[in-house]
Amino acid sequence: MWISVGSVKVGRSARDAQYVVVKADVSRLHAELSLEPSGTLRIADKSRTGTYVNGTRCPPDGTATVVPDGASVRLGAEATFTVRRVPLVLATSASLSTSARESIELAAKAMCIGLAPPGSAAAAADVLVCRAGRLSVRALTSIVRGLPVVLPSAMDAATALCNTRLDSTAAADHPLTSIAGAQRHAVTVGSTAVRLGSRRTLFGKDLFLFFDEPTHSGFASLLELAGAECRMLTSDPADIAEVADVIRNDVGHT
């Protein structure tokens, strides 16, 4: 399940909330909002500014009532969420091309992002989801260690890829062990799949990135220079099956 909240900026200052959401489009907030007990969201647009703790807006005096686990909360006029005591699930357009000082904050905060299956009360995987934005090679190699990173056009594919913790789940229990499921979910036709490093070397686990075609030329060139394996996916069933096999086999070697 995904939450689309517009533009997100991270690591602005220690006083800011963990995520600063700019121009939030409440009509697109359509998934469970899952926060750790200490998680905060700062929502800012033309009509509404406030700090939200566990889905509840903090009063001006700074106090806030902790929302019980499983409670329904409303953000704006159109979106209702269920609060879960799991890490935040967030699809963002954040830029990870940050300064060295900001990168330190981002590294700590990225590890708080998680993905849980619908209705689950426990986090299932660590994942950073970017709908758009810049992602520098330096950020890949020094900040997002071990995190699957998903870029535009692969939201559905990423759900199958990331909704189980890859480093602790037996292959038989993983959704991608079924080749049919892998063909259906693990790749997005017309996008680029990038496999960077391996579990035993660079990141401790494989890092998959999915790009739209307009994004491919810039990112792929940089990533190839950094030693990544980049390729375009086509509608050829053999091409899809090959990539699915790579992912399935990697899962089996956690």
Which pLDDT score is estimated for 254? 28
CA separation for the pair 211, 72 (Å, rounded)? 35
Q: Give the chain's residues under pLDDT 70.
A: 1-254
* pTM of the complete model: 0.21
- How many CA atoms within 13 Å lie on the side-chain side of 67? 25
CA separation for the pair 211, 216 (Å, rounded)? 6
pLDDT tens sequence across 145-163: 333 343 333 333 333 333 3
Which pLDDT score is estimated for 77? 37
CA separation for the pair 76, 100 (Å, rounded)? 35
Which pLDDT score is estimated for 193? 42
Length of the chain: 254
Which pLDDT score is estimated for 213? 39
> Which helix H or strand E contains 51, and what residues bound it?
strand 49-53
- How far lies 106's CA from each of 4, 19, 144, 206, 248, in Å? 20, 10, 9, 20, 30
Token pair belonging to 140: 């890949």
pLDDT tens sequence across 184-212: 223 333 344 444 333 222 223 333 444 33
Domain limits of the chain? Answer: 7-82, 91-251
Q: How many helices (H) and strands (E) does the chain have?
A: 6, 15
